[in-house]
Amino acid sequence: MGRKFLLESDPKPLMEKCLRNSLTRRRGPLRPAEGVALKRLPDNSYKAKDNTKWHSEPNSTMPPIMKIDQFDNAGPTMSVIGCSTPAEVFAKFLPDALLAEVVVHTNDKIINLRNKCKQQNDPTFKDLILMDFRAFLGILIMTGARKDNHLTSEEVSSKSQGFPFYKSVISEHHFCFIQRAPRFDSIATREERVKTDRFAAIRSLWDQVIANCIANYEPSGHLTVDEQLLAFRGGVLSGCTSRINQQSKYGIKLVMACDADPCYMCNAIPYLGKGTTTTSTPLGEYFTMELTRPFRKTGRIVTTDNRFHSLPLARGLRQFGMHLVGTIRPKPYTPSLMLTTPLGFGECVASYNYEDKVTLLCQRVKTTKRIHILSTVHHNPTVTENQ
């Protein structure tokens, strides 16, 4: 009767107790939803090794969090919205004029390959027209969409196992022949251009496609900058390839700026080794500044990891009307007092730079590991669970 009376009169205490016990067993002690205040350093102001001045208290003249403008027009531009079919959208990125130029250079390669064949009159080795090349691209796109790109050409074109669509579009022998032939520049002038640009074999097509990616989409207020390695072992771009030691795979490293919401690639730059840049600017800062160049003076937030993030980069983006958030490695401008302050598991400590209007956060995530986050957006932060 007593338990029944408790449930009927005031069930809230019992429900809260049950919920608290279940959450404690699963996820440890509960944390306040409004966030845990950061640990304060003992000194009011202190300097790093490079004499960068930091403070233990936030700047009272700055708002806790910078308000970011709403980008209501984020998404495809009007030229893409007006398209009614996927083919029309595809043409916005790879127009027929650009594909026709590729067909011309590809036919030059086909002539060289055909001269080495005994049956030169075989239709398999004929010159391409624009429709043939579009069909070839359609096959590649369809194999990716159907997850068939790991199969061999024999398996794809098999009558018993393959998808009938592939066989109806192009024969296996013709597809394999075209696969050897695509060229995107003039072979006659490539040798001279490669001396100044390792990416010369595909530079013209690359620049036009990236320009179309920028023109056909308006990103939201949050951009991310990171790198991706595309598997590639071809000889044409051998001077641009990088290697992952852990997996022993080769590929072309691309550094991209993407819209954080739909993961759309807004801009990209290939890594070309020593020829990537002629300036003494660190590569992380160079890539981020170049990738965000089309979006300056817009107030967008750029998120990077410690391979790109730095205090000079935060200063540079601020000059061009953009914000920066991301993890950072300990640098000479990192205050030593922050590095030596004892922290418990999950505890955080913050330092504030009034001059550059940045906040540096340090949190202990493991017994021997701390992460540092530099932000030009948050000026009086609190730490909440999973944020």
- What pLDDT was estimated at residue 63? 85
Rounded to whole angstroms, the Cα distance separating 350 from 384 reads 15
Tokens standing for residue 271? 């890594």
Share of the chain above pLDDT 70, in %: 84
Segment 89-101 mean pLDDT: 94
Give the DSSP H/E element, type plus range, for residue 138: helix 130-145
In Å, how far are 197, 237, 277 from 241, measured between CA atoms? 14, 7, 16
Q: pLDDT, tens digit, for every residue of 136-164?
A: 999 999 998 988 888 888 888 888 777 88
- With b for 16 or more beta-carbon neighbours within 10 A and e for fewer, the 338-350 pattern comes to beebeeeeeebbb
Rounded to whole angstroms, the Cα distance separating 286 from 304 reads 13
Given a cut of 60, whether residue 13 has pLDDT beyond it is no
- What pLDDT was estimated at residue 11? 42
CB 51 within 8 A of CB 372: no
**Residue entry with tokens 């209501």:** 72
Given a cut of 60, whether residue 217 has pLDDT beyond it is yes
Q: Which of 11-20, 231-240, 290-299, 363-372 has the highest mean pLDDT?
A: 290-299
CB 348 within 8 A of CB 381: no
Q: pLDDT, tens digit, for every residue of 232-253?
A: 777 666 556 655 544 546 788 8
